[in-house]
Chains A and B, each alone.
Chain A
């Protein structure tokens, strides 16, 4: 009971009384090493959510909203997570969530949760009216913390075990997903014909006029 109270107080103490906190922030009371403790996860990706674009005039096409979200230090290999991350690229969110339910990889669960969180964020914070009307514009993996362990070998030797973690990043964009996510797009038959004709006409016939 006492502990919950303590936690509650800690949580509320920083939310309330903002002006006092802002004043306190200007005074440096600790050494530089303690000044920032965000060294165990990247923060840059989430800063894109802070970017504010200039207002548009009524005759302009409304800018499409986007949300960036991440989950850091997932206990899963980044090499394995890559398959899950690139699998959902260019899908609509709902489709991605549905598909991920059938992916038998440990990382799929985390990715799905991140997508669901991002959807919720979009509605709550970024003025997106219909969260289903979004698609996975970017989805990639970063290498997280690697913790080294030891493995005994014969003849008094040892090997190294790497316990890998990964970061997962996603960006959802408003609108319908594009038909082809990766470029170059597959060519249509008439385009192929044009290319072939051009190539035929380009070739040089030796000893001709």
Chain B
């Protein structure tokens, strides 16, 4: 009965009003025009049938990011589709062809060894230098066991060639051949931040002849498995210009030559018959003067560190106490 009344009432409401009936009022009152749909049946009993006409389709969510889903949501998804979760990636890669660091990194003397040997600091430096030099000699002797014709000046020539080749490959962005000149440790460091850029690098001349300043050997895992590391001092003149993607100058210049002093570590897997000398790292001393700032300006990121008050700790502790019976229940279930 009540349904009939409401439906009749609805019917009357749906009936069209004669136009201009409330025209003077409409002009005065803040009134929004609503368009009523008259294509549907007034009786709600057909609503269900109308809905049943359309077969429901599960649309794929193309723009959904898997990273943003919670663990529980992922679990539900996998269960819905009857898929087992992916196996954890428990393998870890090891490169037995190169080491992961520099052993006993060379500490370049401040002011590049120009401190007077008469002063206390200078005397200390020269003492340490002697101590280290003896170890270098020992290491070179060990290298000679594996590489009989190891000769310092010859090696320095080879090192210069490697140094130049690495820079040329880098400016050509030849990633495939770069790995022949650079160890696996140095590879990501060399290629860091060179994407979408044009690098123009030119080697002009040696200011001083390159020389070996330190050599070290270490065995890894077994005694015979020896790696050799040699630090070479390069004092050269170079030009460097870096352009961005649109050919605009970012840094440096192609004309102005600069004197560059670098300590480069070369590494070779001595125990490997086919091992080669490759660039392993560059030593950056602490006393290096700060770099000149870039010409671009940046928006500074405001770091907001939310200090957790002690209350939070208390709260978590209390929740833990509460949650213990729950977790027990889960375990038993």
Could you tell me which A residues sit within 8 Å of B by CB distance? 1-7, 9-10, 13, 16-20, 22, 40-41, 50-56, 58, 62-65, 71-75, 123, 125-127, 129, 144-145, 147, 149-153, 161, 163, 165
Contacts and interface: CB of A to CB of B under 8 A. Distances in A.
Contacts of A165: 62
A51 B245 contact: yes
Contacts of B197: 52
21 contacts: A1-B71, A6-B89, A7-B67, A10-B89, A16-B93, A18-B187, A19-B187, A22-B175, A52-B196, A53-B246, A55-B241, A71-B63, A72-B62, A72-B63, A74-B62, A74-B63, A75-B62, A123-B299, A126-B244, A127-B244, A127-B250
Interface in B88-125: 88-89, 93, 95
A58 B54 contact: no
Contact of B179 (A7, A19, A55): A19
Q: A-side binding surface: helix, strand, loop or mixed?
A: mixed
A10 B217 CA distance: 36
A19 B184 contact: yes
Contacts of A51: 245
Given A52-B198, A71-B63, A127-B245, A147 B88 contact: no
B137 interface: no
Contacts of A4: 71
Contacts of A151: 53-55
Given A147-B57, A152-B52, A3 B245 contact: no
Contacts of B205: none
B75 interface: yes
A201 to B, nearest CB: 48
Contacts of A53: 245-247
Nearest to B52: A152
Interface of B: 52-55, 57, 59-60, 62-63, 66-67, 71, 74-75, 85-86, 88-89, 93, 95, 175-176, 179, 184, 187-188, 191, 196-198, 200, 241, 243-250, 296-297, 299
Nearest to A11: B67
Given A13-B89, A64-B246, A50 B196 contact: yes
Nearest to B182: A19
Contacts of B59: 75, 147, 163
A63 B184 contact: no
A62 B248 contact: yes
A73 B64 CA distance: 11
A177 to B, nearest CB: 19
A123 to B, nearest CB: 8
Contacts of B66: 7
A73 B250 contact: no
Nearest to B62: A73
A94 B175 CA distance: 39
A2 B84 CA distance: 13
Nearest to A161: B54
A20 B245 contact: no
B196 A125 contact: yes
Nearest to B178: A19
B57 A55 contact: no
Contacts of A52: 196-198, 245
A149 B86 contact: no
Contacts of B184: 17, 19-20
B187 A58 contact: no
